[in-house]
Amino acid sequence: MSRSSELFAAAQKRIPGGVNSPVRAFRGLARTPFFVDRAAGAKVWDVDGNEYIDYVGTWGPAILGHAPPIVVQAVQAAAKHGLSFGIPNPLEVEMAELICAWIPSIEKVRMVNSGTEATMSCVRLARGFTGRDKVIKFEGCYHGHVDSLLVAAGSGALTQGQPESAGVPADFARLTISLPFNDIEEVRAAFRENSGQIAAVILEPIPANAGLYPPREDFLQLLRAECTAAGALLIFDEVMTGFRVGRGGAQEIYGIKPDLTALGKVIGGGLPVGAFGGRAEIMDQLSPDGPVYQAGTLSGNPLAMAAGLAQLRELERRNGWQLLEALGQRLEDRVRASLQRLGRPLTFHRIGSMFCLFFTEKPVSSLATAKESDPAQFAEYFRRCLDAGIYFAPSQFETGFISTAHSVADIDATAAIAAEALNLLPEPA
């Protein structure tokens, strides 16, 4: 029995499902998870000594790879001054100034401890600011495990076949209107039917929790216009895309100014961090200035601020986004060439350093079309890649992440192993 199997057996006795976040359980993959011993750069090593090229990257934060020395040193230096204060500290101000400089729609920002906290706080603030209760979200978009947003949710919830969670009162869910992504007519109809009642529209501008698919041309612009016309706030959940698809996130790429933005992952350099920010007049509704309450003992934690600042500055110093685009393009070129050579025109999406292979030949632009992907084919492909030392996300409904630590040799080796795995897949049933 492997050490990972022993640990998983022990974990299942004391941790629900043996994991602290559902998608890590490898359900539906006819495999049990490996337990990690250490990680550095683009690699992780499990407790049995196996080495993997990692494309999960701690689900997004590891944009410079694992344990980059500059981030580790920043954390060590900060730790010498204290682990947590619960008192304002200078690093929080530096972080706030950096975020506002890089993301112009954010005039004021507050730090929290996770992406879930960030989206939850955005929704509360939007309700407080507008005096309205209803929220529009999109099927397959995942905004953390916030009660009112666990409706038609993506990511782990979707992977486990539970996009609606037990424990969410029907009265909460009733305030959430879930619509198909990329369908502006449905949004217009929802605004008409709920005139004067919609506090906000929240979305991942590039959905990355039901696989990865881009917004259709104009969809984000039209959403912006509809929200403005209806007096509702537009909330971008850039927990995944923030600082990853570009310095200013997806909103910079598409040229849209949301009213509020939720951030996480990359901003913490691997430590638990989230942030939310937006127009000053909205943010000023937060306590202690305004009536919307929000707080956190560990918010603005000095280690997390130091890690995030070091990572973001290093990314900029190295023009990391250009490097990530080049690595992403290289992977894409090789994957597309193999799909063509094998006569398997599967749908492959890539935006910068984020990518996803769907086991369907049909176009994917929504949750319904993402679900056309064949789960059995995905599971077989995932297992073959893992056995050959490539760790892709253990779910069809997650996204792959490239880091600046991936070398050209890593990308080429990955593409070759992926091609071999595809070649050995049985024909779809």
159 binds ligand HOZ (CB under 6 A): no
Angle at which helices 408-424 and 320-342 cross, to 10°: 30
Residues in Cβ contact with 281 at an 8 Å cutoff, skipping those fewer than 6 apart: none
116 binds ligand HOZ (CB under 6 A): no
Give yes or no for a contact between 404 and 324, defined as CB atoms under 8 angstroms apart: yes
Residues in region 37-66 near ligand HOZ by CB under 6 A: 59
Of the candidates 29, 84, 79, 39, the residue with the CA atom closest to the CA atom of residue 59 = 39
Measured from the CB atom, the residue of 92 and 237 that comes closer to ligand HOZ is 237
Residues in region 387-406 near ligand HOZ by CB under 6 A: 398
Q: Which residues are bridge partners to 401 per DSSP?
A: 354
Place of tokens 């104009």: 218
Q: How far is the CB of 56 from ligand HOZ (least distance, A)?
A: 8
Measured from the CB atom, the residue of 61 and 300 that comes closer to ligand HOZ is 61
Query: Which span sits near ligand HOZ by CB under 6 A: 21-29, 174-182, 224-232, 408-416?
Result: 21-29
Write down the catalytic residue from 43, 46, 108, 237. 237
Residues in region 317-356 near ligand HOZ by CB under 6 A: none
162 binds ligand HOZ (CB under 6 A): no
Query: Which span sits near ligand HOZ by CB under 6 A: 18-26, 87-95, 354-362, 375-383?
Result: 18-26
Q: How far is the CB of 62 from ligand HOZ (least distance, A)?
A: 12
Q: Is 265 a catalytic residue?
A: yes
Q: Is 410 a catalytic residue?
A: no
Measured from the CB atom, the residue of 309 and 393 that comes closer to ligand HOZ is 393
Write down the catalytic residue from 213, 265, 371, 410. 265
Q: Where are the alpha helices (DSSP H) in 103-248?
A: 115-130, 155-159, 170-173, 184-193, 219-230
Q: Is 412 a catalytic residue?
A: no
Give yes or no for a contact between 225 and 258, defined as CB atoms under 8 angstroms apart: no
Quote the tokens at residue 116: 């879930």
24 binds ligand HOZ (CB under 6 A): yes
23 binds ligand HOZ (CB under 6 A): yes
How far lies 381's CA from each of 234, 386, 391, 392, 425, in Å? 38, 9, 11, 10, 7
Q: How far is the CB of 21 from ligand HOZ (least distance, A)?
A: 3
Of the candidates 26, 9, 20, the residue with the CA atom closest to the CA atom of residue 378 = 26
Q: How far is the CB of 6 from ligand HOZ (least distance, A)?
A: 21
Nearest-5° Cα angle at 354, 353 to 357: 130
Query: Which span sits near ligand HOZ by CB under 6 A: 19-27, 171-179, 183-191, 292-300?
Result: 19-27
Q: How far is the CB of 395 from ligand HOZ (least distance, A)?
A: 9
How far lies 212's CA from each of 143, 204, 355, 363, 416, in Å? 15, 10, 7, 12, 22
207 binds ligand HOZ (CB under 6 A): no
Q: Where are the alpha helices (DSSP H) in 106-206?
A: 115-130, 155-159, 170-173, 184-193
209 binds ligand HOZ (CB under 6 A): yes
Q: How many residues bind ligand HOZ (CB under 6 A)?
A: 8
Candidate residues 68, 156, 207, 278; the one interacting with ligand HOZ per rule CB under 6 A: 156
Burial class (CB in 10 A: 0-12, 13-18, 19+), 64: buried
Residues that bind ligand HOZ (CB under 6 A): 21, 23-24, 59, 155-156, 209, 398
* Catalytic residue IDs: 142, 237, 265
